[in-house]
Amino acid sequence: MRPSLHARINGAGPTGALTALALAQAGWRVSLHDPLSPGALQARERAYAFTHSSRALLERLGLWSDLRPHLVPFRRLQLQDVPTAHRVIFEPADLGDADAVGWIGSHRPLMALLLLRLGQHTSVGLALGLDAAIATTADPDLLVAADGPDSPTRRALGIGQWSHRYAQSCLTVQVEMGGAADDEAWELLRPEGPFAVLPLGGRRFQLVWSAPTARCQQIEALSGPAFLDRLAGALPDVLQPESLLTEPRSFPVALQLARRLHRGRTVLVGESAHRCHPVGGQGLNLCWRDVAVLHQLAERAARGTLHPRHLGAAYGRRRWPDLLLTLLATDLLVRLFSNRLPWLLPLRSLAFEVLARSGWSRALALRAMTQGPCRLRQTLPAWADGDQQLSPAPALSGHGAIPAPSARTE
């Protein structure tokens, strides 16, 4: 075991806070810095979809059993292409022996648990609610930028990014709704943009509604009854919105990717490194796969089998394939399904026909979404109706991190 290594993390949102716990568990001393106070860090009205890759990381860090009571499992995911009227239903059987397709959880209990564990860990020092210029520490062995899509840390290092602003914005709101099962999630592929319906339990649902920016702003400005009327017209007839539980908020949607994931002793994690369209609700899970890789490398550094100065380069090599495949798949999904081009309809129909008729294709797509596209070779078993092993293939994937208006961290 090397002498105690020290990491500084800038940004104490879900990704930064989880990174702090992961590094501390790996044997590092950690200082976590954020200009927001603990109360402000918890005060966001948003929900996340948790996939099996995130569950595996939470289990390794000893967090899953405490977070699980605050999560709502969904055991059916209904994917609909509205213009062609095709639909596919994903179920736990498509993942083998899984007990759920995924889980939905709110921001507040997640952050409350992370902050509690951070406060209890003797290797973690918290500098929350302090100006970054005041909250200084000695030079760390590792600096982690988890300070959001406009990351001051990334900009200070001069790391540029590729970016594309979509013509769509995303509107999020929580509603009470009838007609929907409490354990079913929906992803509606509409010409205006994807529309996710995520169960929060007790007839409560989180909606993630993508549409052209001007239309999103118009919808956001509607009165409560008018908003519910517009919402009812956008949803399938079986889903009946009854009341608003939060104020609708709309945010611009962009694809962003840092030109490099490390420089010197600094690594970029979460939205300081990447962002993409929220289709599929994969945002937090993609960020946490960054944390999972960093945790593994930090353990090697603590054991002395990886020099700390080589950690950043190893992290970049490990993360690039997953990031590129996921961002590419997300962008292709938006381009293929968020339009009214008649010549694309046969291709879309064919894709849904294959998914509906073929169990292996559903398994391939769902495992790519829940484990990440780079883990298909390890996670796909041979199927009962044939002895041959499945080969990796392009699969549906997505990203769904929607920052709150004042969010500066991940």
| pLDDT tens digits for range 63-78 | 999 999 999 999 999 9
pLDDT at 376: 57
Q: What is the mean pLDDT of residues 339-361?
A: 91
Position 133 pLDDT exceeds 80: no
Confidence band (pLDDT; 50, 70, 90) for 279? confident
Whether residue 268 is contained in a domain is answered as yes
Q: What are phi and psi of 244, to 5 degrees?
A: -85, 135
Whether residue 112 is contained in a domain is answered as yes
Alpha-carbon separation of residue 113 from 18, 66, 110, 126, 400 (angstroms): 10, 8, 5, 15, 22
Three-class SS string for 326-380? HHHHHHHHHHHHCCCCHHHHHHHHHHHHHHHHCHHHHHHHHHHHHHCHHHHHHHC
Whether residue 169 is contained in a domain is answered as no
Highest mean pLDDT among 81-85, 312-316, 394-398: 312-316
User: pTM of the predicted model, to two decimals?
Assistant: 0.88
CATH number at residue 132: 3.50.50.60
3-state helix, strand and coil shares in percent for the chain, rounded to the nearest 5: 40, 25, 35
**CA–CA separation, 101 and 90 (whole Å):** 7
List the structure tokens of 307: 């020099």
Residue 241: CB atoms within 10 Å:
23
- Hey, which residues does 266 pair with through a beta bridge? 143, 263
| 261: Cα within 13 Å, side-chain hemisphere | 24
**CA–CA separation, 164 and 210 (whole Å):** 16
Q: What is the mean pLDDT of residues 356-368?
A: 90
- The region of weakest confidence among 101-115, 161-175, 210-224, 387-401 is 387-401
Higher pLDDT, 381 or 403: 381
Whether residue 12 is contained in a domain is answered as yes
Confidence band (pLDDT; 50, 70, 90) for 408? very low
User: For the chain, how far is it from start to end, CA to CA, in angstroms?
Assistant: 30
| Pick from 4, 3, 2, 21: nearest CA to 12 | 21
Is residue 395 within 8 A of residue 364, CB to CB? The reply is yes
**CA–CA separation, 330 and 156 (whole Å):** 29
**CA–CA separation, 103 and 291 (whole Å):** 19
Q: What is the mean pLDDT of residues 228-248?
A: 94
Mean pLDDT of the chain: 88
pLDDT at 127: 95
Task: State how beta strands 86-90 and 266-268 pair.
Answer: unpaired
Q: What is the mean pLDDT of residues 382-395?
A: 33
Confidence band (pLDDT; 50, 70, 90) for 382? very low
Whether residue 407 is contained in a domain is answered as no
pLDDT at 281: 76
Quote the domain boundaries for residue 156.
Answer: 6-71+106-163+255-337
Confidence band (pLDDT; 50, 70, 90) for 132? low
pLDDT digits (tens, 9 = 90+) for 281-293: 788 999 999 999 9
Position 46 pLDDT exceeds 90: no
In 127-185, alpha helices (H): 152-156
Q: Give the strand order in the sheet containing 262-263.
A: 124-128, 29-34, 6-10, 142-145, 266-268, 262-263
Position 153 pLDDT exceeds 50: yes
Whether residue 261 is contained in a domain is answered as yes
pLDDT at 349: 93
pLDDT at 369: 86
**CA–CA separation, 189 and 135 (whole Å):** 46
Q: What is the mean pLDDT of residues 87-116?
A: 94
Position 394 pLDDT exceeds 60: no
Whether residue 245 is contained in a domain is answered as no
Residue 262: CB atoms within 10 Å:
23
pLDDT at 278: 86
Whether residue 370 is contained in a domain is answered as no
Local structure of residue 100 (DSSP, 8 states): -
Task: State how beta strands 249-258 and 274-275 pair.
Answer: antiparallel
Domains of the chain: total: 1
Higher pLDDT, 81 or 135: 81
Position 235 pLDDT exceeds 60: yes
Position 2 pLDDT exceeds 80: no
Q: What is the mean pLDDT of residues 94-109?
A: 93
